[in-house]
Structure 1
Amino acid sequence: MMNGQGRVSPGTVAEIRSFSSLNIWVFLIFALAIKAALVTICLVVPFWHSSDQPRALQQQFSEWKCDSAEPQGTDRGWMCCPEGWRRFQRSCYFLSLDTMNCAESEQNCTGMGSQLVVINSKAEQDFLSEQIKQSPPRQNFYIGLIEEKEGEWHWVDKTPYDVTAAFWREGEPNNKNNENCTVIHVPTQPPNNWNDVRAYLEYHRICEAAAVIV
């Protein structure tokens, strides 16, 4: 309040400063609350909308990479894969750096909420054949095609095996020495680069999981 000489009293100045400080703190708290809400929305909402996707993969990874969905024009505009995985169409793929035998490779993929890759088309085969050429150089990747009995091949997800849509190397599968697992053989030119191998041999692996749609 002003005194008789037109000056603001010291008590009033202190009150004004106190009120200004309070406003600053209120603003800062409000801004932090908004930021926290936005972070929560960015992290939680995408997976809330993707409840129809396998949850096991989501529980394994905290960092994701999202890009525009295919085809365009859908009500859900993004597809997400774990960081370090590679997306093709509606699937995410993990190409390992380490090696394991056939059974261990399948268990490792399952433990990440995925499976050894199931190849359903030439387009997918071409995509993977290009991916395995990338650095660092590696040879032979297990895929999810297994021989249960002599001459009876099946995919790990029970997709029917179609010999007319297979991509075996010339002369393969030769069914020698209990070769009942399948690898993509890196040195062989695509698309026909599958090779049957013995299950105890240690090779790299390709895991596949459905992309998370948001």
Structure 2
Amino acid sequence: MNGQGRVSPGSAAPADERGCSWLNIWVFLIFALAVKAAFVALCLWLVVPFCHSSDQPSALQQQFSQWECDSAVPQGTDGGWTCCPKGWRRFQGSCYFLSSDTMNCAESAQNCGGMGSQLVVISSKAEQDFLSKLKNQLQKNQQLKRDNFYIGLFEKKEGQWQWVDKTPYNETATFWRAGEPNDGHDENCTVRHMPEETLNNWNDVKPDVPHYRICEAAAVIV
């Protein structure tokens, strides 16, 4: 035999074999890019707060695995997405949760804290208006048939009101109902009285009475 059809050691591989090798490389690269794209999509839509960085997750992040994100980012912050736990509602840089069960004042504060949030601190007319419109929206969709919701405003001493996060109490930026708060009667917790049609719907109540609650936490920026 004259050895035709054999490739001697050190000689170049036939053209068809070299083409097959390059094809395998391209197939591998395309597959790797597809896997990376799928991982990025998973980060953005399912667990985006946890894929973004190695920073210690916030208390809110540690409590929830499902998130809803959009591209609206509060002014002056870095990042491309603003995220809230699934089922929460976002306004500016905060996420809000309206409960479907009732607890007393202390239990409500504890429950919000256990979710990595706090009873809502209302610091502007825009925020008060948002919560009123949210109530109307949920009622329209028959998701809300509730009256009073605890917020994070407490009477530390007679006539001395204080927000749960120590935000200074500004009497000119409050939304009390007419005649409220009424001193005495051991009414040292505050609710939003939802049936009230105006923005002035805060009412001081006794702490042992069960009501619904509104929890608030800073949105996760990624």
Contact 1:94 1:206 in 2 (8 A): yes
User: What's the CA shift string for 1:110-158, capped at 9, x where partnerless?
Assistant: 0000000000001001111122232322100000000111111100000
Asked if 1:204 is matched to 2:207, the reply is: no
The offset of 1:27, in angstroms, is 8.4
Equivalent of 1:88, from 79, 91, 95? 91
Residue 74 of structure 2: which of 66, 70, 75 is its match? 70
Distance 1:36-1:47 versus aligned 2 partners, 3 A rule: closer
Q: How does 1:105-144 map to 2 (within 5 A)?
A: 105-133=108-136, 134=138, 135-144=143-152
Residue 28 of structure 1: CA displacement?
9.8
Q: Which runs of 5+ in 1 are unaligned?
A: 1-15
Partner Cα distance (1:206, 1:101) in 2: 13
In the superposition, the TM-score normalised over structure 2's length comes to 0.76
Match of 1:38 in 2: 40
Structure 2 distance, partners of 1:94, 1:161, is: 23
Could you tell me which amino acid in structure 1 is paired with residue 149 of structure 2?
Answer: F
Match of 1:170 in 2: 178
For the residue of structure 1 that corresponds to 2:166, the secondary structure is coil
User: Aligned partner of 1:171: which letter?
Assistant: G
Give the Å deviation of 1:177.
1.9
Per the TM alignment, residue 41 of structure 1 is displaced from its structure 2 partner at its CA by 4.5
SS at 2:126 equivalent = helix
Check 1:136–1:50 CA distance in 2 against 1; reply closer, same or farther (3 A cut).
Answer: farther
Give RMSD over aligned pairs: 3.1
Percent identity of paired positions between Structure 1 and Structure 2:
60
1:44/1:80 Cα in 2 relative to 1: closer, same or farther (>3 Å)?
A: closer
SS of 1:132's partner is: helix
Report the counterpart of residue 12 of structure 1 in structure 2. none
Q: Which structure 2 residue ranges, 5 or more long, are not aligned?
A: 1-16
